[in-house]
Copies of this chain bind each other. A is one copy, B any other.
């Protein structure tokens, strides 16, 4: 079970953090951008090459202290084919380094189209008599506003191939209330979504008691998180919104069960852009990222003990 793999990696490192790679040029250290421009000109190819270097150097620097990585698909898509090419390579690099790898693409489509997408991301693409593996990942974020039809194509990969999907329940942004908090009988939209997530994953419960179908629950709403944690003890939480968006270690404690299990907290900018806060030229960005990741681990550790 893939969700067990994630939990075991977290236990081994005593660190429930997933760091996020969402590169774009203004946050990259100057030396990386300049060297890529020198080699490829001011082109999407250069930008994508710079992303690859930035991401793989970070993956090297954090591999012994952070168990999981989240790769933001949109940042790579924004460079077109060059970006996608490097994103594919980065997923494989991250797996080789031992990370649990999630691609954050928040896709949600139905039927045949969702099947094609699920197969390409989680399996292999068949071309004639050959098959081609584009990505090597453990998990995807999925937007399930379309209901079961949008989720079912992913389920065989969760059931048989040890993959996970994380469904958007209650996101970390302020305006998430506009749709997600709508009251419906004795539920709100996000608990209705949680009920669906439970149902879709009910035959896929791992050793630690969590389902292969997880849920995205923002760090910025601690009371909501607490209620969800109590009610949905089978749903593993992916928790965005830490750091830059205002979520704190005190907040995220509510995402965990009494064993310190059941959640992973994501942070992107506060780790990968940590160098920008030091006034340095960025040549020390890996040291800064490492220090920020260790600080986050320690901060959460004040509130959460992982057994």
CB pair A78–B117 under 8 Å, yes or no, is yes
A42 at interface (Cβ–Cβ under 8 A)?
Answer: yes
- When the two chains form their complex, are residues A113 and B146 in contact, meaning their CB atoms are under 8 A apart? no
Q: Is the CB of B185 within 8 A of A171?
A: no
Q: Decide yes or no whether A189 CB sits under 8 A from chain B.
A: yes
Binary flags per residue of A172-187, CB closer than 8 Å to B gives 1, else 0 = 0111111110111101
CB distance from A152 to the nearest CB of B (A): 8
Q: At the interface with chain B, which of A8-16, A103-111, A253-261?
A: A103-111
Interface residues of A in 142-187 (CB under 8 A from B): 143-150, 168, 171, 173-180, 182-185, 187
The residues of B that contact A117 with a CB separation of less than 8 Å are 74, 77-78
A36 vs B260: C-alpha distance when bound (angstroms): 54
- Tell which of B42, B77, B146 touches A127, judged by Cβ atoms closer than 8 Å: B42
B125–A149 contact, CB under 8 A? no
Known pairs A147-B177, A189-B189; A88 contacts B84 (CB<8 A): no
- Determine if B175 and A148 form an interchain contact, defined as CB atoms under 8 angstroms apart: yes
Q: Is A148's CB under 8 angstroms from B182's CB?
A: no
Residues of B within 8 A of A5 (CB): none
Let me know if A80 and B134 touch, CB within 8 A.
Answer: yes
A168 touches B145 (CB 8 A): yes
Q: Which of B42, B81, B129 contacts A128 (CB 8 A)?
A: B42
Query: With A80-B84, A134-B80 in contact, do A147 and B178 touch (Cβ < 8 Å)?
Result: yes
Cα of A235 to Cα of B120 in the assembled complex, Å: 35
Q: Is the CB of A130 within 8 A of B42?
A: yes
Q: Known contacts A75-B116, A78-B119, A113-B22; is A127 also within 8 Å of B46 by CB?
A: yes
A130 to B31 alpha-carbon distance, docked (Å): 18
Establish whether residues A113 and B75, one from each chain, have CB atoms under 8 Å apart when the complex forms: yes
Known A117-B74, A143-B108, A173-B111; judge A148-B178 contact (CB<8 A). yes
Chain B residue at minimal CB-CB distance from A131: B42
Q: Determine the distance from Cα of A241 to Cα of B187 in the docked complex, in whole angstroms.
A: 30
A306 surroundings in chain B (CB, below 8 A):
none
Select from chain B the residue with minimum beta-carbon distance to A40.
B127
Residues of the B chain whose Cβ atoms lie less than 8 Å from the Cβ of A129: 42
| Complex A-B: 14 CB contacts under 8 Å | A42-B130, A44-B127, A47-B125, A47-B127, A75-B113, A78-B119, A80-B88, A80-B134, A145-B168, A146-B180, A147-B177, A179-B189, A183-B184, A183-B185
